[in-house]
Amino acid sequence: MPLEEREAEFLALRTREALACWLGITDKQLRFLLYKKLDQSYRTFVIPKARGGSREITAPSKFLARLQRKIALVVAAISPPRGLAKGFVKGLSVLDHAALHANKRWVVCLDLKNFFPSINYGRVLGVFRSRPFEFPDAVAIPLSQICCYLGLLPQGAPSSPAISNVVARQLDRRLAEFARKNKLSVSRYADDISFSTNARIVPVGLMLEDRSPGNEILELLVQSGFVINGEKFRVRHASERQQVTGLIVNDRPRMPRFWRRQTRVLMHLRRVHGDENALSIAKDFRSKRKLSDVKSIEALVRGRATFASHLDDRFQTDFVESLARAFPEQRSVLESRRKVAHIRVVAEGKTDKKYIAQAFSALSGHDSRYRRVKIEFSDLPDKSEGFGDVALRKHVQEISTVQLPVFTIALFDCDNSKLMADLNLTAASYVPLSPTLAIACLPQPAHVSDAAFCIEHFIPAHIRALRDSKGRRIFTVDEFDSTNGRHRTESLYRIHPKQATLIVDSDVFSMTSAESVALSKSQFCDLVCERAPPFEDFDWEVFRPVIDFLLSVYEGATSRR
């Protein structure tokens, strides 16, 4: 079932019986779980932390975990985390959390004490009772019972991360306001909160003179239902080692020197003693990271190399390549499935995103160059701002002053000569605005001679002229007389002939039947992307120039760093 349908069904739940059906179990099974079996469906164990100490995990049974995963999926989709939350968010990682605080004068990190257990049953129940869920108690109560253990949110349940992000939304808003007021950068990765600034001093509301937490931040956390872990409050100047979620951020995010040296030692042991003997030697290391659960040195090195390659790609470092040079016989172990290019595209409208995404998906299947590229699309500017070049330009202005986690290309249509001049853009040109942001203008389609064009013009005219089952299609402005609105070859007329638009997708009527014959751009795009009749044989090659242009912008802009 598509996620959108699952979301709609979830929000429509009004009875416990309906909830059971949605979960894929009977009401009898649900009642037995809630009132007889729930407390017996967990096991608690302790695991070592990467940086010393231990963490208690409360893991549900396979049956309960399956139900919790279903709930987590729709909760994250219906109420996704926004803004400063970087943990448990699709597409984000510790790299995004750390990158925000790289190369800053001051970095302040704090940890929330008992993050998951501090979220009690009442707070979870409040989530399901309030917007956007607004469930009646018949649904909200069993949902909260499924997600809690002994009245608390368990650390180890699949549903806990998604629910904790919803609960922490008020905290995130207060942190964002506190950071804005004090001119700080802030992000939260689960229970780890990091602030940074290039100011000469840290605001007293965040840190006192003795480097202890400021009263304002302490009060803010308490008001949000959380308590700071005083032992993990860290303040570091640029002259000291600044560390955020395990990554050193003094210049650009990288792994600590100890971690890099240990990786080299592991590879040396493997070279000299072989995998099996190297493992027994490595287990005697006096390190905070226990190796008792590691099955082979090869698996450990491969895992480390995979993570390090993400760092190398993201921040233009070469740790993995330096390992390959030092240990050429182990190069195959160091090879990873990393992408050589990671690009985020922000376009004027939703159809631009759909066409490029579908074309990239289709072409990458038989073009090896594209298999080493990742292209994703931003949801902004959204419809509330109005699709178009004005909204895109405003969005670019908003993001141009921050370091973006992914290299971003704001892609404009070539249909507004004044805007193009203001942005210093022409067809197939780009302008870097920062190391992680560039604005660009579409390349000119090969079969188009006009100076003005948009994404739909990459589709040949004979394809655009095809009609759907209701006799509708999209039109171009040059098909109509600009004075009287009549179609030049068909018995059709346009109500607003002077309206400035390249693609006419509304207000076109038949002169004989008076019926609307215009197909909206969105409907046309859906038919093409789904290869619905009459577009069963549509060839995505027509969009290859757009994909190649995006890659050339990425390569040209990043080579200047």
pLDDT digits (tens, 9 = 90+) for 122-139: 999 999 999 999 999 999
Q: In this structure, what token pair is assigned to residue 52?
A: 């010393």
Give the pLDDT score at 283. Answer: 73
| pLDDT of the residue at 313 | 75
Does residue 361 sit in the same domain as residue 321?
Answer: no
What are the backbone angles phi and psi of residue 307, rounded to the nearest 5°?
Answer: -65, -45
- The candidate with the shortest Cα–Cα distance to 87, out of 3, 2, 187, 206, is 187
Alpha-carbon gap, residue 291 to 158, rounded angstroms: 26
440 in Cβ contact with 409 (< 8 Å): yes
Domain termination residue (choose one: 248, 273, 302): 248
Residue 360 resides in a domain? yes
Domain presence at residue 12: yes
Residue at 505 is within a domain: no
Question: Which residue, 302, 334, 366, sits at the end of a domain?
Answer: 334
Q: What is the reported pLDDT for 327?
A: 92
Domains of the chain: total: 3
Question: Average pLDDT of 338-344?
Answer: 72
Please list, in sequence order, all residues whose beta carbon lies within 8 angstroms of the beta carbon of residue 455, skipping any fewer than 6 positions away: 347, 351, 352, 355, 356, 413, 442, 546
Q: What is the percentage of the chain residues whose pLDDT exceeds 90?
A: 64
Give mean pLDDT, residues 6-34.
Answer: 93
Residue 90 and residue 175 in one domain: yes
Q: What residues make up the domain containing 312?
A: 257-334
DSSP alpha helices (H): ranges in 347-453? 350-364, 368-371, 389-399, 417-423
Predicted local distance difference test score (pLDDT) of residue 263: 92
CB-based burial label for 285 (10 Å; 0-12, 13-18, 19+): middle
- Is pTM beyond 0.85? Reply is no
Domain co-membership, 384 together with 303: no
Residue 115 has pLDDT above 80, yes or no: yes
pLDDT category of residue 288 using cuts at 50, 70 and 90: very low
Q: Are residues 232 and 261 in the same domain?
A: no
Domain assignment present for residue 485? The answer is no
Residue 350: band (very low, low, confident or very high) from pLDDT cuts 50, 70, 90 = confident
Dihedral class, residue 558 (left if φ above 0, else alpha if ψ from -120 to 50, else beta): alpha
